[in-house]
Amino acid sequence: MTSGRSWSAEQWSDRMFSDPLRAAMARRMIWRVEGSAPVLALPEVDGLRDAARRRVPVGAHDSVSIWHPADDRAEQGAWQKRLRAADVNQPIEQAWREVVLAEPDSPVLDLGRGLRVRQTAMRGFLLKRRWKVPFLGPYFEVPEATRELTPYGPIAVLELGYFDEHPESVVVWALSFRSVQETSLDARELPSVLVSEAARDVLGALKAGSEPQQASG
């Protein structure tokens, strides 16, 4: 969903529907058809249909890609209604996917600025999402978690803080972005899909690190 990869209509049909398991997943996903005008569509028994169940024609030279709601946030409501009516359970969330966009007056995103969270839980969540996360302690570590969002950048950077009196915790400051050449990037100028996915990771890590720790035994 973050790569922006697309296929010709013929390639997409062959790739997604030649295998039964892949076809079962593809029929529960929302696709962007790029023809004379972009339109979102869901594969149904009688062809592609939009959120209002109007038929979506596909030309031989049209391209098809998987839809990310950060590109069309206003479309989520209509698709939630459509999928609910059709009793479609998506294998990868689109209609109900959390979307976070760049703040209009800031090059970075303040997500839980100053919030103290449990380091092990936050770190574990981000590691599963392909972030590089140091374990901060009394010895020097670069106080940031990073994730290369696409090959050769941009890189998401979560700024962290550590205090010796609270060794089990870290403090979250801001989510920023930089290039592989270490140049700062403005979140407002980056693809909304990449910004949203990085922010979604951070929000998930904050939730994991803020949840009460269950007692063992």
Write out pLDDT tens, residues 170-200.
Answer: 999 999 999 999 999 999 999 999 999 999 9
Give DSSP secondary structure letters for 32-46.
Answer: EEESSSEEEEEEETT
For residue 165, the domain's CATH number is 3.30.310
Q: Which residues of 12-49 are buried (b: 16+ CB within 10 A; e: fewer)?
A: beeebeeeeeeeeebebbbbbbeeeeebbbbbeeeebb
pLDDT per residue as tens digits for the range 8-47 = 999 999 999 999 999 999 999 999 999 878 999 999 988 9
Interval 40-80: pLDDT, tens: 999 998 899 999 999 999 887 899 999 999 999 999 999 99
Q: Please give the pLDDT value at position 140.
A: 67
If you average pLDDT over residues 107-127, what whole number do you get? Answer: 94
Q: What pLDDT, on a 0 to 100 scale, did the predictor assign at position 167? A: 80
Total domains in the fold of the chain: 2
pTM listed for this prediction: 0.88
Residues in the chain: 217
Boundary of a domain, candidates 37, 71, 86? 86
What residues make up the domain containing 151?
115-210
124 and 166 in a single domain? The answer is yes
